[in-house]
């Protein structure tokens, strides 16, 4: 074990903790490290004749820091030199431990993308939350959010990303992709997700967001479908998709009250979007193509689930 430097000791003894330090201490405790490392271990390079790989846990922690603070590979390397709180979280002591360069960070991210490991991490977090009794399956809320992409053609190909597309929301037009999620109806934790180009209508992927055991489904007006509603009602499950008026007539009082009552549940799906897009800053895509962005989305959803119930997980640990 490396010995702490005088600077590290002085930092540890300072009087006030920053919000970043408090956040990292909480996530340190709620992330199921052993279970997640087990998912990646079989794919991670082993020490051989070449350059020995850095510790797997160190690289996973750095990858999570990238997601929480919306950092590119070069920015992540620089931040590790600048931020003592991030070095401490990653388990790096300057002058004693090697700080991974941007290429090493890039290669680890590519490993996760190539092997489809972020989906497996997402599933493992779901399994962990179910074991803690925090992921209920009685109802599902379905919704989608647009993540915008650059419209500029000032790149090597002189073209837009061909896997992104335009869509209209209200009177505004957006260019990018869509993240479709299904969450539970109590905590708003994501249990399924689909990434598509922006022009794909929300209702087209609804079936992929259902786990099959829900007794109720909640959604906005984009999910209105009479055939699916009849099938749901016939199976004894509750269809709680928002209602709309017909032929431009105003919504009657009964339907307005019905929408208002169920909107309180449906609004919980916005919590996970708020964490990913507003709190962690992922309102724009970082990569070209859907595959890389999809891999990142599953990482973000897994971490956002843990963040949303971190207080409850900390109480369970205590």
In three-state secondary structure terms, 144 is: strand
DSSP secondary structure letters along 162-202: TT-EEEEETTEEEEEEEEEEEEETTT--EEEEEEEETTS-G
Per the model's pLDDT, the better-predicted residue between 47 and 292 turns out to be 292
DSSP assignment, residue 284? B
Per-residue pLDDT tens digits for 97-124: 889 999 999 999 999 999 999 999 999 9
Q: Going from the N-terminus, what domains does the chain have, and what CATH number goes with each?
A: 6-115 (no CATH), 137-285 (3.30.420)
- % of the chain with per-residue pLDDT over 90: 70
Average pLDDT of the chain to the nearest whole number: 91
What is the per-residue pLDDT across 166-203, written as a single tens digit (0 to 9) for each?
999 888 999 999 999 999 999 999 999 999 999 999 99
Indicate the SS3 state at residue 218.
Answer: strand
Instruction: Show the tokens assigned to 260.
Output: 């208002």
Confidence band, pLDDT 50/70/90 cuts, at residue 259: confident
DSSP state of 275: I
Taking the model in full, what pTM does it have?
0.91
Please, what's the b/e burial string for 166-199 (b: 16 or more CB within 10 A of its CB; e: otherwise)?
A: ebeeeeeebbbbbbbbbbbbebbbbbbbbbbbbe
């Amino acid at each position: 074990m490396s010995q702490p430097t005088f600077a590290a000791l002085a930092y540890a003894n300072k009087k006030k903790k920053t919000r970043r330090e408090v956040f990292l201490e909480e996530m340190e405790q709620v992330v199921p490290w052993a279970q997640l490392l087990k998912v990646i271990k079989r794919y991670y390079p082993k020490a051989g004749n070449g350059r020995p790989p850095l510790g797997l846990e160190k690289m996973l922690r750095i990858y999570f820091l990238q997601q929480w603070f919306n950092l590119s590979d070069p920015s992540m390397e620089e931040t590790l030199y600048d931020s003592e709180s991030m070095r401490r979280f990653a388990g790096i002591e300057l002058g004693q431990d090697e700080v991974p360069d941007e290429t090493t960070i890039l290669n680890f991210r590519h490993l996760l993308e190539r092997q489809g490991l972020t989906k497996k991490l997402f599933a493992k977090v779901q399994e962990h939350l179910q074991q803690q009794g925090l992921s209920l399956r009685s109802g599902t809320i379905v919704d989608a959010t647009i993540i915008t992409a650059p419209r500029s053609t000032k790149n090597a190909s002189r073209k837009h990303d061909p896997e992104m597309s335009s869509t209209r929301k209200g009177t505004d037009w957006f260019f990018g992709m869509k993240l479709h999620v299904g969450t539970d109806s109590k905590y708003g934790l994501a249990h399924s997700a689909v990434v598509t180009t922006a022009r794909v209508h929300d209702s087209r992927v609804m079936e992929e967001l259902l786990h099959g055991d829900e007794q109720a489904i909640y959604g906005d007006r984009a999910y209105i479908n009479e055939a699916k509603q009849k099938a749901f009602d016939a199976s004894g499950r509750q269809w709680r998709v928002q209602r709309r008026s017909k032929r431009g007539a105003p919504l009657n009082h009964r339907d307005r009250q019905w929408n208002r009552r169920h909107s309180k549940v449906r609004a919980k799906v916005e919590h996970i979007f708020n964490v990913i897009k507003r709190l962690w800053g992922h309102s724009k895509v970082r990569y070209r193509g859907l595959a890389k962005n999809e891999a990142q989305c599953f990482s973000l959803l897994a971490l956002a689930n843990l963040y949303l119930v971190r207080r409850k997980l900390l109480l369970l640990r205590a």
